[in-house]
Amino acid sequence: MKELNDSPHSPIEQWEKAGNTLVIAFKEYVGLCQGLAAEPLQEGANANDLISRIDSSLKGIHETISRQLNESKVALARARNKFASPLFRFPEEILSEIFMNFVYGNIAEPFELLSMEQEVWIIYRRLYTLLGVCATWKDILMARGEFWSVIPIISGPSAAEWRPFDLSLKRAGGSRLHLAASIERADTPDELGEILAGYGPRFRAIDINVVRVGEFSNVMEELLQHSASWPLSELSIRCAYTFRELGVPEEYRYIFPRNSPQQVAFASMVRNLVAFRICGAPVRWDNLVFSTQLVELRIQEVVLGYDDAILSFVQALSSAPNLRDLKIIAMTTFHNFTAQAPAPPSPITLPGLRSLLIENFYLNTLEYLVQIIAPVSYDFTLFPNHKIFVDNIPSTVIVIGVDTEETRRARICKALNQIPVDTLVISGYFNPDWLETTDFLEFLMAMPTLKTLRMNDWYFDKDLCQGITRINNDRTPAEDDIFPALRNLYLSQIGIPDAECFQSMIASHPLQLVVLEGSFCSGQSTSHEPWQENSRIVEWLRRNIPDLELRLVGASHAPELYSKHWRLW
């Protein structure tokens, strides 16, 4: 809370003194007005002249007095409301932090896939909601430039006239900026070059979302023209439509030609990043070198080439010893049946790594990855789908004598056994039948270190529940157990035809946390109902496993389930 300054020369003292002076002057003025009608006109005075002066006073002085009195009344009422409000007792720093959490926190609800443009729109809608509450809140928002630091460039038919970034740049003051550019046309918007030229060094983070690789190359050329000496920390780039898995990338599919000035400049920019996220845009990993500054890397929907092309990617990783968060999502390589693949090199160690996510991968890609990333102390999350049963082969190649299903299952289990998986995510949202129960149980046996299991849109029939149930039912894992002893279980949108079998499964594991998300269907019913405290299974768990932390959540908050969504970073 701020202390009010009541010193002799303070604004409060001056306001009170001016008010007293105004009362005295107004009292004298009222007396003189009354005297005009009471006293006869002096000799030689012109009545018409007096009438004109009175009319002038009524239209000029009195209207001005009335207006200013009303303005002062409004100003005093606002001041009183401000100082009487409990919020006045909050330091501005606390209010500012609350506002920041409101504006930028939880932009998208679970299951709600928003585009980057929609997220920017939500941010600004929240800002203007706060602006309209009261003058105090407006003053805080207008005085702190960080609230306006997201600068949107939305390429569309009305963008040139709207220019939403002008006001944001003005209000952001000297704050570090975050550029959110969504380009939907082939030519690069003029305003992008205008902003980069005028404000480039102030950008902390840049998000670029384009439709095709050609548009992306144009945007990146514009960016590289202005960014030679920028202290850019984060770069997130996404190309919505790419060639993806059609075949091994040809020269023209890459963002820049090899050894071109643009490729050299791009490599120089990447070298200084703290966070680098790329989706759908093929880059030359053999030309990229990171630094000790890089702590986050996300590669998504990128085709590398044949399996041995992973080597270039991993060598680039090795140049980032402080990398903490690595996400590899839908990274595609092709299995080369026509040539002898080179033996993988010794596994690289990433000493700073804290979390690794590998999601949406082919079997051949998984086999190669697990051989060249050394298992160290990090949280390893695996999120497979139907691709894990398939070797990715170029569409132009005809293969005779492919592996049998049994051989592929053996290869999968061998690969899984080489990596210390902590978290396994299984989802049947798009394809509920991709994983048979027998295969799933084999996979679990190959992951004895597994501690967390997330299952979304899955049917827990009797065979599955009995298969996951541990034989050692005292909830204390033995040292020689080959079946994982789960500590955390997240279940979302599941079917439970046999409640007793489901409960026995949960009771057999040394679970510390169970999160029941969204809804479930029980028995033979196909209709879902939300989890509630009076749900039969919930009551049983609370009664029979009192030490278990049980949470009921309205919808799934698992970020792994929404990784295809490219958010505003």
Kindly report, residue by residue over 51-103, the tens digit of the pLDDT: 788 888 878 888 888 888 888 888 887 777 777 766 667 788 888 898 999 99
What percent of the chain clears pLDDT 90, i.e. is strictly above it? Answer: 32
Q: Helix (H, G, I), strand (E, B), or coil: what is residue 256? A: coil
165 Cβ partners below 8 Å, 6+ apart? 151, 152, 153, 191, 195
Token couple for 340: 């002898």
pLDDT at position 522 over 60: yes
* DSSP-assigned states of every residue in 263-281: HHHHHHHHHT-SEEEEES-
Q: What is the pLDDT of residue 295?
A: 96
Q: Helix (H, G, I), strand (E, B), or coil: what is residue 101? A: helix
Q: Rounded distance, CA 103 to CA 554, Å?
A: 22
Q: Rounded distance, CA 50 to CA 119, Å?
A: 67
Q: What is the pLDDT of residue 116?
A: 80
pLDDT at position 121 over 60: yes
Of 58-67, 256-265, 498-507, which one has max mean pLDDT?
498-507
Mean pLDDT of the region 288-306? 91
- Phi and psi dihedrals of 243, rounded to 5? -75, -25
Q: Helix (H, G, I), strand (E, B), or coil: what is residue 305? A: strand
pLDDT confidence tier of residue 278, bands split at 50, 70 and 90:
very high
In DSSP terms, which residues pair with 520 in a beta bridge? 494, 529
Q: Rounded distance, CA 470 to CA 215, Å?
A: 54
Of 41-55, 214-228, 551-565, which one has max mean pLDDT?
214-228
Q: Within a 10 A sphere around the Cβ of 260, how many other Cβ atoms?
A: 12
More confident site: 246 or 539? 539
Q: What is the pLDDT of residues 381-399, one digit of tens each?
A: 999 999 999 988 877 776 6
Say if strands 423-427 and 379-383 run parallel, antiparallel, or are unpaired.
parallel
C-beta separation of 331 from 365 below 8 A: yes
3-state SS string over 107-129? CCCCCCCCCHHHHHHHHHHHHHH
267 Cβ partners below 8 Å, 6+ apart? 287, 288, 289
pLDDT at position 191 over 50: yes
Element (H, E) at 298: strand 296-300
Long-range contacts of 410-414, Cβ-Cβ distance < 8 Å, separation of 24 or more = 411/363, 411/367, 412/363, 412/366, 412/388, 412/443, 412/446, 413/442, 413/443, 413/445, 413/446, 414/446
Calculate ∠ Cα 450-455-458, nearest 5°: 135
Q: Rounded distance, CA 236 to CA 441, Å?
A: 38
* DSSP-assigned states of every residue in 495-558: EES-HHHHHHHHHTS--SEEEEEEEEEETT--S-EE--TTSHHHHHHHHH-TTSEEEEESS---
pLDDT at position 186 over 80: no
Q: Rounded distance, CA 365 to CA 380, Å?
A: 17
More confident site: 51 or 268? 268
Chain CA centroid to CA 91, Å:
29
Mean pLDDT of the region 96-119? 77
The reported pTM is 0.82
Domain 421-569 top-level CATH class: alpha beta
Start-to-end CA span in the chain (Å): 34
Q: What is the pLDDT of residue 105?
A: 80
Query: 400: left (phi > 0), else alpha (psi -120 to 50), else beta?
Result: beta
pLDDT confidence tier of residue 1, bands split at 50, 70 and 90:
very low
C-beta separation of 181 from 206 below 8 A: yes
436 Cβ partners below 8 Å, 6+ apart? none
Q: Rounded distance, CA 203 to CA 38, Å?
A: 73
pLDDT at position 525 over 60: yes
Mean pLDDT of the region 477-506? 86
Long-range contacts of 209-212, Cβ-Cβ distance < 8 Å, separation of 24 or more = 209/115, 209/116, 209/181, 209/182, 209/183, 209/238, 209/240, 209/566, 210/182, 210/183, 210/184, 210/237, 210/238, 210/239, 210/240, 211/183, 211/184, 211/239, 211/240, 211/241, 212/239, 212/240, 212/241, 212/242
Torsion angle defined by CA atoms of residues 211, 212, 218 and 221, in that order, rounded to the nearest 10 degrees: 100
* Among 108-117, 443-452, 467-476, the least confident range: 108-117
Mean pLDDT of the region 526-542? 90
Mean pLDDT of the region 129-147? 88
C-beta separation of 192 from 219 below 8 A: yes
* Among 216-225, 527-536, 550-559, the least confident range: 550-559
Number of H helices, E strands in the chain: 18, 17
Mean pLDDT of the region 337-341? 67
Q: Rounded distance, CA 485 to CA 379, Å?
A: 16
Q: What is the pLDDT of residue 561?
A: 63
Of 118-122, 212-216, 255-259, which one has max mean pLDDT?
118-122
Q: Within a 10 A sphere around the Cβ of 381, how many other Cβ atoms?
A: 20
Q: Rounded distance, CA 139 to CA 87, Å?
A: 13
pLDDT confidence tier of residue 450, bands split at 50, 70 and 90:
very high
Q: What is the pLDDT of residue 551?
A: 92
The structural domains of the chain, with segments of one domain joined by +, span 11-35+49-89, 272-401, 421-569
Torsion angle defined by CA atoms of residues 292, 296, 297 and 300, in that order, rounded to the nearest 10 degrees: 180
Q: What is the pLDDT of residue 433?
A: 86
Q: What is the pLDDT of residue 454?
A: 94
* Among 62-76, 272-286, 455-469, the least confident range: 62-76
pLDDT confidence tier of residue 201, bands split at 50, 70 and 90:
confident
Alpha helices in 200-275, H assignment, sequence order: 213-226, 261-271
Token couple for 307: 């399996």
